[in-house]
Structures are given as C-alpha cells and as structure tokens.
C-alpha cells in the first residue's frame, strides 16, 4: 500500500471521527441517563465488529494490512454506532 493511500485513508477516518465526536443526539422525552445507556450499548456493539490486526512486524505487507484493518475498523465502528443510535430512536440534533 502506498504512503499516499495510507495518508488519505487516515485523513478520511479522522474526518469521520471528528464528525461523530461533534454530533449531538436528541430524542424527545429522553433523559441523560437513557442517552448514556443507549450510547454505551451501541459502543459495545460497534467494538464487537472490529477487524483483528495480525502480529506486529516490520515488513511492509504486515504494516499495510494493520493500517488498512485499523482504518476500516474505525469507519465500520462509526457506522454501526450511528445505525444503533438511530435504531433506538435518537436523531442528530446538530453539530
């Protein structure tokens, strides 16, 4: 994997993370306790969907795979977490 592709992938993942961190969620009639309970459940679901990395090594193939797995895993976790929250009735309240 070239350094340019890796850099683009990392920028994309960082952008997703920044966007998801800046979101606020709303659900009429819900309490903060309900929000944090749902958020915790969704984060646990998202973590279960992560891709494993292979053993550390200095060869370019191993490093490339691990970087790709980490980037794909982060994007996948964000998508799972968002769909879970939407499924529980939460909506984006703004940024």
Indicate yes or no: pTM above 0.85: no
Residue of higher predicted confidence among 77 and 88: 88
Domain assignment of residue 27, given as a range:
3-94
In the chain, count H helices and then E strands: 3, 2
First to last CA, the chain: 34
Q: Which residues contact 67 (CB under 8 A, 6 or more apart)?
A: 1, 6, 9, 10
**How confident is residue 3, by pLDDT bands cut at 50, 70 and 90?**
low
Number of structural domains the chain divides into: 1
Over residues 58-86, mean pLDDT: 80
pLDDT tens-digit readout, 19-41: 555 579 999 999 999 999 999 99
pLDDT tens-digit readout, 85-94: 999 999 998 5
């Amino acid at each position: 994997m070239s350094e340019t592709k890796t850099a683009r992938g990392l920028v994309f993942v960082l952008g997703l993370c920044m966007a998801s961190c800046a979101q606020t969620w709303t659900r009429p009639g819900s309490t903060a306790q309900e929000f944090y309970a749902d958020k915790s459940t969704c984060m646990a679901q998202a973590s279960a969907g992560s891709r494993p990395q292979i053993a550390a090594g200095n060869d370019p193939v191993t490093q490339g795979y691990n970087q790709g797995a980490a980037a794909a895993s982060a994007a996948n976790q964000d998508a799972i977490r968002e769909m879970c929250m939407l499924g529980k009735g939460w909506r984006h309240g703004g940024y």
